[in-house]
Chains A and B, each alone.
Chain A
Amino acid sequence: MSADLGHLILVLALVSAVYATFASLYGGYTKNSAMVYSGQRAVIAVFIFVTLAVVGVEINLLKNDFNFHYVASYSSIALPLFYKLTTIWAGQAGSLLFWAWILTIYSMLVLYFYRKDYNHEMPYVMGILMSVIIFFAAMVVFAANPFELLAHAPADGRGLNPLLQHPAMAIHPPILYLGYVGFAVPFAFGLGALMSHRLDNRWVKTVRRWTVVPWLFLIIGIMLGGKWAYEELGWGGYWAWDPVENAAFMPWLTGTAFLHSIMIQEKKDILKVWNMVLIILTFTLSIFGTFLTRSGVVSSVHSFTASSIGPLFFAYVCLVLIVSLGIMFFNFDQLKSKTRIESLVSRESSFLINNVIFVGLCFAVFWGTVFPVISEAVRGIKISVGPPWFNTVNTPIFLALLLLTGVGPLIAWRKSSTHYLKRIFLKPTIIGIVTAVVLVAFGITKPYAVISFSLCAFVTATIIAEFHRGARARMKSNSEGYFLAMLHLLQRNKRRYGGYVVHFAVVLIFFGITGSAFDTDIKLNLKQGESREIGRFEIVYTGFESSRDDHNEVLAANVVLKVDGKNITTLHPSRHYYFVSEQPTTEVSVYYTFMEDFYIVLNNVDHEANSASFEVWVKPLVIWVWIGGLILTIGTLIALLPNTKETELRSVRKKQAAEEELVAS
């Protein structure tokens, strides 16, 4: 696509977004349905223009058209087709466009599904979503144009950073974006409900699903990022409290808090102000996250590369926060709750405590992330806040959350009696304590690790007991077999039991993370044929192979891995040397077991001494983090499936709406 055409399309997208915003908001405010309709037409136009722009960038990438700055910067002739397509989210201009595109898709879906059911709120919802598009469209038009031309086209592009040429990394950004951007929908619904003075429980019910979806995308994105770091970066870990990681983690934390507290609003009609604040925060943090990732403000304290979009983004984050809190402030009287929380030992208050802790955790992460920037700006002292700080502050908070994972869902509404508490929690508590005692008896004395394992046992016990009780009840009332009862239980209450599955997944993730307290890290040099014992493993270096093709040169060591004297497998830790970027990459080799990962990195091969040097990690329980992620996804999907009851209700509601419309006309 030519630069002029591309630019024209971007301008048209911007103009349509401006029109869609004002037509929707003005039409909604004056109850002018023709205007609202025209605004909705403009939303479709925005979607079409942004889609065309995305297609245009993709065509330029596929055609290797190095006249374009973007193509020349991130692609190259030799880049495999798959990575050429994914290059659209490799650089700044492309990812901003891509962000906008996802938002237009979400907007179209919302418009399609809810324009009838929510005809009063929809003008405001669309107005808000389109106002966000204005910002991103303006950015690609004025500040980071993906169709910008170079004065002289180079013969070949600079290529995609080889570290990013990994399947997990190729799909990680769009999945993260689906999460970030998706939070715009509940945000727009919340403010839309407020602006249209329709703050009954309807929007809360609808918005739950539209919060769960981006929430799931975000956590999958975060975990893919971790998996990539683990397998590609070769430093033996999956999480480093890097600003970019924190950027995605923060909205996820407030999003999790929001998911929990809207359940309370749905059931009890309280916490309205709190929920509105949470969703505003979540969306603002999503924008802030994009800003952190894209501007590079935080990480490069030593060499502050001023990015042109940094200040604009920061101003926009402030604008979103101020405008949305302002809207809330001027409609504050509508957010009053009729009922109150009655007891500290109730589900309401346990959810509230969960919320406060989530927000506190988010604040800790936020503070640790931006502190270096603030410190440098205010006091002129450059400070880095690294993993030690985050681990010191966050570990106790995480453990408190783990405890609540078990306690929260089981406490009764309004007020719990001591008798009830005893019945529910006595056995799990005993199991937790026994776990702790056994661990200490076996010589595990790290306090946080013991507490964490003990809580994992406690929470697992509460979840199993809950399934068991439910199944037993069904067996009695429906005279079904145990497993059939269990299956029906899950089918009939997908939300509730899907939620328990997610909680169990969280336990597994904690279990896996706790394993990192027992990591071993060894650096060693082995002559050919020499062997070394590491824990229950033994490795023998048997030599190396080297090969080269058009793109890179590969140097791979052969390492035989033995457990208890038996050959298990041959590992091939290697180093790749890419010609285009002149950068070596480490190919880690990992032997996965349910107990521990054997993780080996090749440092160098010494041809003269006929030896090779390695760094080896033995990392207990890591695999459970990924298994937990998988189960979390499954549990969330179960919770997302419509309940039979809900489907019936919806068809009734549709009928009602149709009748209302008839009466109105």
Chain B
Amino acid sequence: MVKNKRVYIGLVIIVLAMVLLFIGGFDSETMVYNYTVKEVIDQNKDGLTDRGYRVGGRVIPGSVIKNDEQISVVFEIRDIQVQGYILKVTYEGILPDTFKEDQDVLIEGKYVGDKTMHATKIMTKCASKYEAEY
């Protein structure tokens, strides 16, 4: 039993190390906040420009303009629930296959002011959760 002590101490150290890792992980800028389009536009002045976050919205039909020369794309998303809130999104890269007009997308990136967001990542519904609706 006495000999056991060092085993326990060893385990406690390992558990503590992992707990520290957890806390450290939450401290750094590894977590992304989710907002709606309305929230982004309303809270424009709240220093949102500093950190990255994720915005959910619906792609406005006819707003998608691709530029092949620079492999960039510009489109607009609107708030899913509240009418009248529109955000412009710029993105350099290839749109995911599941990206469609009039469909919900998640934009990850930074707000650059003037109701415009610069996206670093665009997500749509994952294929594995594809459920048909009738």
Contacts and interface: CB of A to CB of B under 8 A. Distances in A.
A385 interface: yes
Interface stretch (A78-86, A184-192, A389-397): A389-397
Contacts of A372: 34
B128 A244 contact: yes
B113 interface: no
B94 A353 contact: no
29 contacts: A72-B134, A74-B132, A91-B132, A164-B127, A233-B97, A244-B126, A301-B56, A302-B56, A302-B80, A303-B56, A341-B4, A342-B3, A344-B6, A344-B10, A352-B11, A383-B32, A383-B34, A384-B32, A385-B31, A386-B108, A397-B21, A524-B71, A525-B71, A583-B100, A584-B97, A586-B94, A586-B97, A613-B69, A615-B94
A63 to B, nearest CB: 19
B123 to A, nearest CB: 9
Given A303-B104, A603-B94, A349 B33 contact: no
A92 interface: yes
A356 B14 contact: yes
A396 B129 CA distance: 31
B7 A352 contact: yes
A340 B4 contact: yes
Contacts of A72: 132, 134
Interface of A: 69, 72-74, 90-92, 150, 158, 161, 163-164, 233-235, 242, 244, 293, 296, 299-303, 340-344, 349, 352-353, 356-357, 360, 364, 367, 372, 381-386, 388-389, 392-393, 396-397, 523-525, 582-586, 601, 603-604, 606, 609, 611-613, 615
Contacts of A244: 126, 128-129
B110 interface: no
Q: Is the interface of A mostly helix, strand, loop or mixed?
A: mixed
Tier of interface size on chain B: 35 or more
A161 B18 contact: no
A523 B68 contact: no
B14 A357 contact: yes
Given A353-B14, A360-B15, A163 B98 contact: yes
Contacts of B30: 385-386, 388-389, 392
Contacts of A343: 3, 6-7
Contacts of B78: none
A615 B93 contact: yes
B131 A92 contact: yes
Nearest to A602: B94
B22 to A, nearest CB: 6
Contacts of A91: 131-132
B24 interface: yes
Contacts of B132: 72-74, 91, 158
B54 to A, nearest CB: 5
A358 to B, nearest CB: 11
Report, nearest first, the 4 A-B pairs whose CB atoms are least far apart: A302-B56, A382-B34, A389-B30, A73-B132
Interface in B77-121: 80, 92-94, 96-98, 100, 104, 106, 108
B75 interface: no
A300 B129 contact: yes
B100 to A, nearest CB: 7
Contacts of B108: 384, 386
A392 B26 CA distance: 9
A384 B94 CA distance: 22
B71 A392 contact: no
B68 A392 contact: no
Nearest to B39: A382
B134 A340 contact: no
A586 B97 CA distance: 7
